[in-house]
Amino acid sequence: MTNVTPFPAAAAGQVGFDRQELQRIMDLYGRMVAAGHWRDYAMDMGREAAIFSAFRRSAERPEYRIEKRPALRHRQGMWALVGEGGHILKRGSDLHNVLAPVERKLLRIVED
C-alpha cells in the first residue's frame, strides 16, 4: 500500500488544445448543434496532431476536422480545416480565420 502509482498524464510530446482554443471550437460546435446541423464530435490527441471532428450523425465520416499540427507552425500554419472527403479547405496560423468557412455556413443555415 505504500506504492503510489501516478495517474497517466499527457504523454511527453502529446499535442492538445489549450483552454482558449477549445473554448472557440466548442462555441462553434454548440452553435452548429443549436442550428440542428451537427450531432456528435470526437477529439483525438496524439504526438503529431490534435484533431477535433464534427459529425452530422455519429455513424458517418466527420463533416469537418479541425487539426492542430504545431510542426507546421512556421511553414503553412498549424491550423487546418479538413472537409469530409479529406481535402484541406483552409490552413493558417490563426484559428479564427481557419474556422471562417464554417462560420459562414452557419450564417446561411440560420438565414434559411
Asked if the structure places residue 4 within a domain, the reply is no
Has this prediction a pTM greater than 0.75? yes
Would residue 71 count as lying in a domain? Answer: yes
Q: d(Cα 43, Cα 66) in Å, to the nearest integer?
A: 10
Confidence category of residue 61, pLDDT binned at 50, 70, 90: confident
Question: At which residue does the C-alpha cell 459562414 appear?
Answer: 104
Q: Which domain holds residue 101?
A: 19-111
Averaged pLDDT, 20-30: 93
Closest Cα partner for 21 from 87, 108, 93, 90? 93
Which grid cell is 29? Answer: 460546435
Per-residue pLDDT of 76-101, as tens digits, reads: 889 999 988 889 999 999 999 999 99
Nearest to 28 by CA among 66, 62, 57: 66
Whether the per-residue pLDDT at 73 is higher than 70: the answer is yes
More confident of the two residues 30 and 9: 30
- Tally of structural domains, the chain: 1
